[in-house]
Amino acid sequence: MLIIAHRGIGEPRNTITAFERAVEHGFGVEFDVWVTGDGRLVVLHDPEFTSGGGTYRVKDVSLREFRALHPLGELIPTVEEILDVSASRGATLNADVKDPEAAPRLVELASGFGALDRIIFSSTDPKVLLMIRRLSGDARLAFSIVRERDIAAFPWLKARLSLYSLHVPLDGVDRVSMPIFKLLVRWARLIGLKIGFWSYEADELSYLPRLMGYFDYVIADDPVRVRKLLGLG
């Protein structure tokens, strides 16, 4: 069972040290991708950050300016650094492409590092996934469900984009009930999709044992406890 550490392990999240810890413990890593004003790809959850009383958009500053301004500075990695850190263990990566402009460079970097076969490119936006598919016929694409209407879209996306997987929020259990949630997941698996569970506010430690056999991997907020819970170490 693959467990992917959501933004690394330990605080502060989304830093090179958090990702290094995850890789050292044998986990995959999930990270969000944004492009700076000078075309570099940085790993950050949001498109902007606050520093010294000012708010800055990532795409409005260079990488040098970003690292000088951001409170965590040099601890915020570039995608190149994530690829380098994860290479020794061959760790699975989940790149959540938040900025469409990051897609071409991300695919180029993944190809250059020989890492296409261990990256899952995910997005909530089908247009971003289509862009990545046009750039690479081999890229593993994951559609992340964030709205109820997304449920109706994934069969078409599977056929149109050759989706690899569906990222399903555990929060959906409370929206539709456990029986219906399981039915929808079974449907997705029947059409050939792998399932990756993640959580927005739901308690992953409570839901995952009740859903054994319904998922292929977990994007976990607490990967160490999830691994123990699932009896994987």
The answer to whether residue 148 scores a pLDDT higher than 80 is: yes
**Residue 182, domain CATH:** 3.20.20.190
Radius of gyration of the chain (CA): 17
The answer to whether residue 233 scores a pLDDT higher than 80 is: no
- 53 assigned to some structural domain: no
Strand partners, 140: 120
Mean pLDDT of the chain: 95
Which residues in 98-190 belong to E strands, given as ranges? 119-123, 140-144, 165-169
- 191 assigned to some structural domain: yes
- 12 assigned to some structural domain: yes
pLDDT tens-digit map of 92-131: 999 999 999 999 999 999 999 999 999 999 999 999 999 9
Strand partners, 207: none
CA–CA separation, 58 vs 63, rounded Å?
9
The answer to whether residue 88 scores a pLDDT higher than 90 is: no
Q: Are 165 and 195 spatial neighbours (Cβ–Cβ below 8 Å)?
A: yes
CA–CA separation, 135 vs 85, rounded Å?
25
Q: Which domain holds residue 104?
A: 2-31+79-229
Helix (H, G, I), strand (E, B) or coil at 51: strand
pLDDT tens-digit map of 207-229: 999 999 999 999 999 999 999 99
- 48 assigned to some structural domain: no
pLDDT tens-digit map of 150-173: 998 999 999 999 999 999 999 999
The answer to whether residue 76 scores a pLDDT higher than 80 is: yes
Confidence grade of residue 198 (pLDDT, cut at 50, 70, 90): very high
> For 122, phi and psi rounded to 5 degrees?
-120, 155
- 55 assigned to some structural domain: no
The predicted model gives 139-145 an average pLDDT of: 97
The predicted model gives 72-98 an average pLDDT of: 95
- 42 assigned to some structural domain: no
Helix (H, G, I), strand (E, B) or coil at 154: helix
Q: How many domains does the chain have?
A: 1
pLDDT (0 to 100) of residue 37: 96
Share of the chain above pLDDT 70, in %: 100
pLDDT tens-digit map of 28-61: 999 999 999 999 999 999 999 998 889 999 999 9
- 54 assigned to some structural domain: no
Q: Are 107 and 134 spatial neighbours (Cβ–Cβ below 8 Å)?
A: no
CA–CA separation, 44 vs 35, rounded Å?
10
CA–CA separation, 212 vs 209, rounded Å?
6
- 39 assigned to some structural domain: no
